[in-house]
Structure 1
């Protein structure tokens, strides 16, 4: 009986752990953008949405992710939305809290010209070196 209880406990723990919604790493060079179907290559521009069921949608560009959310009529309050930190490739931050910068000088995969940073200081540093980089936020994107 103890063995059965132990197995049931382990199974329950594994089941509930697998239901946790979180960022799922991107396999660069192998996974494709959920919107445009291009292979995701650049760590500075990648992004991801995790829906309320835990399914991850991965993107090569913020523009693709924004178009995808609009076309799919997803409820943003139910989504986890992650964007790559432009100044710290490989690090992902909450898109709803990120500072987005838009400039033609940013050569993004879909030519959207949008990058994300985590802090106002990082945004200011980039704005000093990139001409006409304008601040915006996720909720301001159309």
Structure 2
């Protein structure tokens, strides 16, 4: 495990460690900022141009001492890890593990400081000024910045470093709890369980507050709305099931993790589409004339179909209509 950790640490020098993706209507393909161990890459020139208008400092590799020292730190940690594996030193394993944890904490603090300074220290003479507005990107996850959506996640090198942490934890657990194997298994299953807990749970729609991400109308009806969660964890909300279908058709490159629709029999309660039965047409009226209702069971859908003279329909048909 230590030998593999060493190779991953050294390998992380050659791949982007972190990335910040930006999406906005004027950039349908998005912009990306990639942070390597030794440089800033990606759509740097375009992002610098945008930063100039809102008063943020422009980004240049030479302005950060971190890009000069980080490759050496990672390479040194990698060599130490390989050396510990070669010597099979138990004490060295523990020292190296806590050194790596300390390195991770300091790196996270430095990244937060960097984000904070660039998001708050704005040029008062900038062309676009919004009183009280700061543009600090998220350390991890999604954040809305004016009309831009910013999504901050690990890149290849970052996942390699996360893998190092998991391997070191496993090595420590194996060393410390080698005999009671059941205890070791339990310890290893905890992080595995946490990693498996995906963020695909429905996010409640705030009626009369949230807007539809397709037609931009306010969502006020708690029986016809819908929601999607992307692979990246971003949530899009809709005031009509048809709006969700149209949005997915217009953004077919977006990787969807989960689809939800309102349960017609309840107010503002979302259910997964795979558990839903749909009825469309007839006398059904929905906010944007999609005229689709979803039900949690077939019997309720059938009864509503007869009542409204609608037609039972499949989710795939709605999505591809």
TMscore range, shorter length: 0.7 to 0.9
Q: Distance in 1 between matches of 2:211 and 2:196?
A: 26
What SS class does the counterpart of residue 274 from structure 2 fall into? coil
Matched, 1:126 2:308: no
Q: Distance in 1 between matches of 2:208 and 2:195?
A: 31
Q: Distance in 2 between matches of 1:16 and 1:34?
A: 29
Q: Distance in 1 between matches of 2:315 and 2:202?
A: 18
Shift of 1:87: 1.3
Equivalent in the alignment of 1:94: 272
Equivalent in the alignment of 2:262: 84
Select 1:114's aligned residue among 292, 297, 313: 292
What SS class does the counterpart of residue 206 from structure 2 fall into? coil
Task: Please list every run of 5 or more consecutive structure 1 residues that lacks an aligned counterpart in the other structure.
Answer: none
Equivalent in the alignment of 1:34: 213
Where is the helix percentage greater, Structure 1 or Structure 2?
2
Shift of 1:18: 9.8
Larger gyration radius, structure 1 or structure 2 = 2
- Output the TM-score relative to the length of structure 1: 0.81
Shift of 1:66: 0.1
What SS class does the counterpart of residue 123 from structure 1 fall into? helix
Q: Distance in 2 between matches of 1:47 and 1:63?
A: 9
Q: Distance in 1 between matches of 2:259 and 2:215?
A: 18
Equivalent in the alignment of 1:65: 244
Q: Distance in 2 between matches of 1:107 and 1:50?
A: 26
Q: Distance in 1 between matches of 2:267 and 2:253?
A: 27
Shift of 1:91: 2.0
- Output the TM-score relative to the length of structure 2: 0.37
Aligned-pair RMSD on alpha carbons? 2.6
Contact map agreement 2:282 2:308 (CA 8 A) in 1: no
Count of residues in Structure 1 that have an aligned counterpart in Structure 2: 131
Moved >6 Å (runs of 4+): 15-19
Distance 1:55 1:75, change over 3 A: closer
Contact map agreement 1:63 1:114 (CA 8 A) in 2: yes
Contact map agreement 2:277 2:298 (CA 8 A) in 1: yes
Q: Distance in 2 between matches of 1:93 and 1:21?
A: 12
The Cα offsets for residues 14-63 of structure 1, whole Å up to 9 and x where unpaired, read as: x9799623211111101100000000000001110000111100000011
Contact map agreement 1:22 1:54 (CA 8 A) in 2: no
Q: Distance in 2 between matches of 1:17 and 1:30?
A: 32
Shift of 1:127: 1.8
Task: Please list every run of 5 or more consecutive structure 2 residues that lacks an aligned counterpart in the other structure.
Answer: 1-97, 106-190
